[in-house]
Amino acid sequence: MSSYYSASANKPQSFQALAGDQNADICVIGAGYTGISSALHLAERGYKVIVIEAETVGFGASGRNGGHVGIGQRQDQQYLEDKFGHEIASTLWYMGLEAVDTVKELIQKHRIKCDLKHGNVHFAHRAKYTHELEEEVAFLHDHYGFDQMEYVPKERLSEVINSDAYHGAVVDRASKHLHPLNFLLGMVEAATKAGVVIYENSRVISYGDAPNGRQVAVKTTQGQVTANEMILACNGYIEKLEPKINGYIMPINNFVLATEPLSDELAAQIAPLDTSMSDSRFVINYWKLSGDNRLIFGGGENYRRGFPSDIKGFVRKYMLQVYPQLADTNIDYGWGGTLAITLNRLPHFGRVQDNIWYMQGYSGHGVPTATFAGKLIAEAISGKLERFDLMANLPTTKFPGGTLLRWPGMVTGMLYYALRDRI
């Protein structure tokens, strides 16, 4: 299963497997946005960092996602205000904006070539959801002075899309979109230049207190890293590595296709503003044009091990509901990836013990949030804990039934809501 992203990746560096005994200030497990951004931000503060990756850099969701860089948190701002009050909600709002700025600044600072483009349009797939969109625009304007969003009613939708599938939309000029794997590879290059050492094809099988009682010893089959601090950055791929945090996330498989390159005329019809786009379905459809005018369309998910055998066909049916005019367009690539959701769709940050940190559960909003998590952990390990702790103190709930029983109940629930998209 090859993705468009791996086929169009800027030349990736390759890294040796971990062998023997190594030492570091900080050992990071996982080489996606969380792990690499943490490593880069910590190395820039002078720490010696080792990253251990089970497969290759970008193997996880960071090399496979839709590339949407959305503002705010995964929950809308009114929900956050109602749940946590204005002070925490507003901090979360401004951190959400800073997360998008962090992505932009990393791209500028390290001259990362990743097809960065601007804006997102979010569509209501039912007339009843248009009010929510209008309310959100008004709420952000009135309470946050945010003027980067505009509600577009049905009669003006042809300005933003050539499709009859929707009833209204919000144009958001602050969000961005990019080539997700190339963004990661650019951060990897910056991290190695800053002194970060990365090992690939090295699955961490266990970790625990080092014999000196102060450090942590992180083990793969062929090597060991002894470090002052360890960061778990495995998200939806963590499996059973850390039982203490497993029950708070549920891994979900989501699927994407890339068409052949579209003519300039068709591309302008499909995405008149060249923004990313998404809709209000529970199983969200999300799409955008790539740097070479392909439609990158994400739609459909499953809640079990394994991907559908025909991913292109699986996603194509969702694409044709939005764009029937693409019925004769070839699909060049289809692929899937695994993300982690939390029950309340807010990220799950914290510590297993004083020197073992984790960040996970970005619930489909990880391009900005996981990148930003790297900035927050670097602040925290350097002694400025406030912002990391604010995230860590957000209330989180285990999935009902915990690690063992979360599947049957949750899968039934997810399938129920997915079914409601269709009726």
Q: Is 42 in the site for ligand FAD (CB under 6 A)?
A: no
Contact 229, 379 (CB under 8 A): no
Q: Is 137 in the site for ligand FAD (CB under 6 A)?
A: no
Figure out which of the listed residues 26, 28, 29, 80 binds ligand FAD, where binding follows CB under 6 A: 29
Q: Is 74 in the site for ligand FAD (CB under 6 A)?
A: no
Contact 357, 303 (CB under 8 A): no
Figure out which of the listed residues 3, 62, 77, 120 binds ligand FAD, where binding follows CB under 6 A: 62
Q: How far apart are CA 297 and CA 288, in angstroms?
A: 7
Q: Which is nearer to ligand FAD, 49 or 256 (CB)?
A: 256
Contact 335, 311 (CB under 8 A): yes
Number of residues binding to ligand FAD, judged by CB under 6 A: 43
Q: How far is the CB of 335 from ligand FAD (least distance, A)?
A: 8
Q: How far is the CB of 102 from ligand FAD (least distance, A)?
A: 13
- Can you tell me whether residue 146 is helix, strand or coil? coil
Q: Is 311 in the site for ligand FAD (CB under 6 A)?
A: no
- Can you tell me whether residue 164 is helix, strand or coil? coil
Q: Which is nearer to ligand FAD, 130 or 333 (CB)?
A: 333
The residue whose Cβ lies closest to ligand FAD is 366
* 5-to-25, 150, 231, 331, 333 alpha-carbon distances in Å: 33, 31, 27, 14, 9
* 335-to-240, 255, 309, 311 alpha-carbon distances in Å: 24, 6, 10, 6
Q: Is 168 in the site for ligand FAD (CB under 6 A)?
A: no
Q: How far apart are CA 224 and CA 204, in angstroms?
A: 9
Q: Hey, how many other C-beta atoms are within 10 angstroms of the C-beta on 192? A: 18
Question: Would you state the structure tokens that stand for residue 246, as one six-digit string?
Answer: 């497993």
Q: Is 176 in the site for ligand FAD (CB under 6 A)?
A: no
Q: Is 203 in the site for ligand FAD (CB under 6 A)?
A: yes
Question: Would you state the structure tokens that stand for residue 306, as one six-digit string?
Answer: 């394994």
Contacts of residue 191, defined as CB under 8 A and 6 or more positions apart, other chains included, come to: 36, 39, 40, 43, 49, 51, 198
Residues from 364 through 423 that contact ligand FAD (CB under 6 A): 364-367, 370
Q: Is 182 in the site for ligand FAD (CB under 6 A)?
A: no
Of the candidates 221, 304, 260, which has an alpha carbon nearest to the alpha carbon of residue 52? 221
Strand partners, 353: 356
Q: Is 33 in the site for ligand FAD (CB under 6 A)?
A: yes
DSSP secondary structure letter of residue 287:
E
Q: How far is the CB of 64 from ligand FAD (least distance, A)?
A: 5
Q: Hey, how many other C-beta atoms are within 10 angstroms of the C-beta on 131? A: 11
Q: Is 52 in the site for ligand FAD (CB under 6 A)?
A: yes
Figure out which of the listed residues 5, 50, 53, 284 binds ligand FAD, where binding follows CB under 6 A: 53
Q: Which is nearer to ligand FAD, 30 or 247 (CB)?
A: 30
Q: Is 341 in the site for ligand FAD (CB under 6 A)?
A: no
Q: Is 334 in the site for ligand FAD (CB under 6 A)?
A: no
Figure out which of the listed residues 41, 42, 66, 319 binds ligand FAD, where binding follows CB under 6 A: 66
Figure out which of the listed residues 55, 132, 274, 379 binds ligand FAD, where binding follows CB under 6 A: 55
Q: Is 267 in the site for ligand FAD (CB under 6 A)?
A: no
Q: How far is the CB of 318 from ligand FAD (least distance, A)?
A: 13
Q: Is 207 in the site for ligand FAD (CB under 6 A)?
A: no
287-306 mask for ligand FAD (x: CB under 6 A)?
A: -----------x--------
Q: How far is the CB of 187 from ligand FAD (least distance, A)?
A: 11
Question: Would you state the structure tokens that stand for residue 350, as one six-digit string?
Answer: 């914290």
End-to-end Cα distance, the chain: 32
What is the phi-psi region of residue 30: left when phi exceeds 0, alpha when psi lies from -120 to 50, beta otherwise?
Answer: left
Q: How far apart are CA 207 and CA 216, in angstroms?
A: 7
Which residues sit at the interface with ligand FAD, rule CB under 6 A? 29-35, 52-55, 59-62, 64-68, 70, 203-204, 233-238, 241, 254, 256, 286, 298, 337-339, 362, 364-367, 370
